[in-house]
Structure 1
């Protein structure tokens, strides 16, 4: 069935392009296809690279030459996760894409964003479970979709992982974390995230890709990782589209 739908999509693509000419979702410039940005907007995205912390991808100053080095926060408080795979560093361009995707309801951006995330994931022979950061049911009802689940579905398809969309649950509503400091975010998330009872056996001993759209202070992902590790997960990599390098944001 999947190959049939893909074939239909290929056949109908010229018609779709005729009715809805491909445009860059950031600046509106014309494109050759519906699945990306114009060259100018691509160049506005900042892709993580070396030198950076080997554990969390926090950028180091350009003059630093160490390999497999750890940043001061990871040395002071070793993270529970087993690495971060971020498609971009958070800047004006990535922020516009995230806002258009999440609040502008441009969910057609999910495949393009997921491809960028999947490209940053490490190669491994392990069988990965792909788990999105959950939304509380009230927020899910109001928004109509979980942006992390849309990205997770695409990543699972690209990398061949097993998607478990409801492995994590929000057990209580939390306030918007924007504007809160790290300690306040941790307090707000205490006891808020757990694992679904029907999946705990499946999570035992598993390798997991935890998917979110933006990684800010890491408080939400930390709560998710802690819940997955309590359920017996062997390894958890945090995958996101944009990683905020400045924890004061």
Structure 2
């Protein structure tokens, strides 16, 4: 392994690490330059405890947004790294469709930082699954790349095969929550051979973007139908009504 490390050091010297978004050389590990960092709308401050969306003001207790008050979630808590806008939207698109796996690698520390306020003891990290037909076409599941990066950074157990899509759903973009939930009914199941391994454990679901939360709700429901301690979630980006 020593010669590989030496080659990586040499490559890093000849080809400086560049910004994931604009390609500008940056120091240290792969990440963002200062301009793209500022344009990525990282979420900070008060957020809704169950969907991770930003809230105005400050509070010393857990708060919920109006949507989560009106329609309670079936998971315990969730957080997101940044808003699905600007540079962040560009990064998510490139990770999802342009085979930019290095974005997921860089996102591990971002996801861990976002998750820390709601991090359970001894979590199991689980990606939201793709249907096999989409996985075959895309060649990879971007959520699994993100979950693997988070699990490695936090030294958590990673269980990428825990959930599976049992039916292919149509594209959900543009659909409201009720329409999404109808399409997702029974679409995600737990792999029977892994049920015992999840019993009594805290599950952390990982996805690239949360919009209405319907997909996350279906994944959480699949987990909650078995004997888990809790279900929480973390996303690379959180979409808002205006996105």
Matched with 1:220 is 215
Q: Distance in 1 between matches of 2:92 and 2:33?
A: 17
Asked if residue 115 in structure 1 is aligned to residue 115 in structure 2, the reply is no
> Helix, strand or coil: the match of 2:116?
coil
Decide whether the 8 Å contact of 1:114 with 1:241 is kept in 2: no
Task: Quote the offset at 1:226 in angstroms.
Answer: 0.5
Q: Distance in 1 between matches of 2:229 and 2:210?
A: 22
Asked if residue 181 in structure 1 is aligned to residue 176 in structure 2, the reply is yes
Q: Please give the root-mean-square deviation of Cα atoms over the aligned residues, in Å.
A: 2.0
Matched with 1:139 is 134
- Aligned counterpart in structure 2 of residue 91 of structure 1, from 85, 102, 106: 85
> Helix, strand or coil: the match of 2:80?
strand
Q: Distance in 2 between matches of 1:83 and 1:220?
A: 15
Task: Quote the offset at 1:33 in angstroms.
Answer: 4.0
Q: Distance in 2 between matches of 1:112 and 1:25?
A: 9
Q: How many residues align?
A: 242
Q: Measured at CA, do residues 149 and 44 of structure 1 come closer, stay the same or move farther in structure 2, by a change above 3 Å?
A: same
**More off after superposition, 100-109 vs 53-62:** 53-62
Q: Distance in 2 between matches of 1:205 and 1:104?
A: 38
Q: Deviations over 1:126-178 (max 9, x none)?
A: 21111110011111011001111111111111112111111000000011111
Q: Distance in 2 between matches of 1:112 and 1:164?
A: 20
**More off after superposition, 32-41 vs 208-217:** 32-41
Q: Distance in 1 between matches of 2:14 and 2:173?
A: 39
Structure 1 unmatched ranges of 5 or more: none
Structure 2 unmatched ranges of 5 or more: none
Q: Distance in 2 between matches of 1:220 and 1:8?
A: 44
> Helix, strand or coil: the match of 1:122?
helix
Q: Measured at CA, do residues 125 and 215 of structure 1 come closer, stay the same or move farther in structure 2, by a change above 3 Å?
A: closer
Decide whether the 8 Å contact of 2:107 with 2:149 is kept in 1: no
Task: Quote the offset at 1:239 in angstroms.
Answer: 1.0
Asked if residue 41 in structure 1 is aligned to residue 40 in structure 2, the reply is no
> Helix, strand or coil: the match of 1:121?
helix
Q: TM-score, normalised by structure 1?
A: 0.90
In the TM superposition, what are the counterparts of 1:160-179 in structure 2 within 5 Å? 160-179=155-174
Task: Quote the offset at 1:36 in angstroms.
Answer: 0.6
